[in-house]
Structure 1
Amino acid sequence: MDSLYTAEALSTGAGRNGRTRTADGTLDLQLATPTSMGGDGNGANPEQLFAAGYAACFHSALQGVARRAKVDLGDSSVGARVSIGRNDDGEGFGLAVELEVTIPDLPHEQAQELADAAHRVCPYSNATRGNIPVTVTVTDD
């Protein structure tokens, strides 16, 4: 791969209950384990960061495929839900992602075609494909 950009971040403290900061200081967050996992929930967590990154990256991919198809996405949005749970074998944890794509001014079928195309080119989708379940749903809201 010919790298176009490299992000750098450092986690310090106690992992999920520590701090994470990007090398340029743009992102600097206190982390906390979610209450549903036994933590106090008083900070961001890796799943939130992954969800935010995936939603933004997928939305960019969607805009790119729409631009190439000469389609106006209007007031589109992409939401991401990232779930964490124990692996089926009970050893370790795994992730699952649900992406929700909304393109209000397009027919559902056309919106689905664009979402499917975005899923083929999005770097996050390419990184997760075959590794974790990712569901892409187009809503008509």
Structure 2
Amino acid sequence: MSDVMFTSHASARGGREGHVKSDDGLIDLKLVDPGADSGEKGSNPEQLFAAGYAACYDGALNLMASKVNKEIDSTTQADVSLMKDPSDDGFQIGVTLNVEVKGVSQEEAEELTKKAHDFCPYSKATRGNINVEIKVKTQ
């Protein structure tokens, strides 16, 4: 591994219908299967992945804007879908990043989002493994 900047720790027990907790206790969540219609409230792995990806990508987007002296205001919503994988009867995930950018033109926003996708560690980790679609809207 390269020079490690920091390491986060979390554990899961009981799989998709269990519990997740970070070592510092900031994340301490019950997991429920959203497809089970049990009426129980809780998070799921896709929701947690969506939160992490949205935060990482939005940070990368703002960094790319600062590198070209653009001041933006952005919001990134990650929609993470669990889907059947036709290749092995298992499952796969797909992501749509819905990005709203203020302060630049549509063309500039699209260029910045591409640069952010090239830079973002989550985008790098998923590249070639899952389908990621980026939808950009300016205001």
Number of the residue aligned with 2:63: 64
Higher-strand-fraction structure: 2
- Mind listing any 5+ residue stretches in structure 2 that lack a counterpart? none
* 1:20 aligned counterpart, secondary structure: strand
Q: Output the amino acid matched with 2:52.
A: G
* 1:76 aligned counterpart, secondary structure: strand
For each residue in 1:55-76, what CA deviation from the matched residue of structure 2 results, as whole angstroms up to 9, or x when unmatched? 0000000011111111001x31
Q: Output the amino acid matched with 1:97.
A: V
State the identity as a percent: 42
Q: By how many angstroms is 1:89 displaced? A: 2.4
Regions of 4+ moved over 3 Å: none
Kept after mapping to 2: 8 A contact 1:32/1:39: no
* 1:100 aligned counterpart, secondary structure: strand
Q: By how many angstroms is 1:137 displaced? A: 1.1
* 2:129 aligned counterpart, secondary structure: coil
Q: CA RMSD in A?
A: 1.2
* 2:83 aligned counterpart, secondary structure: strand
Q: Output the amino acid matched with 2:12.
A: S
- Mind listing any 5+ residue stretches in structure 1 that lack a counterpart? none
Asked if 1:89 corresponds to 2:87, the answer is yes
Number of the residue aligned with 1:7: 8
TM-score, with length taken from structure 2: 0.93
Number of the residue aligned with 1:108: 106
* 1:63 aligned counterpart, secondary structure: helix
Of 113, 118, 126, 2:124 maps to 126
Q: Output the amino acid matched with 1:92.
A: G
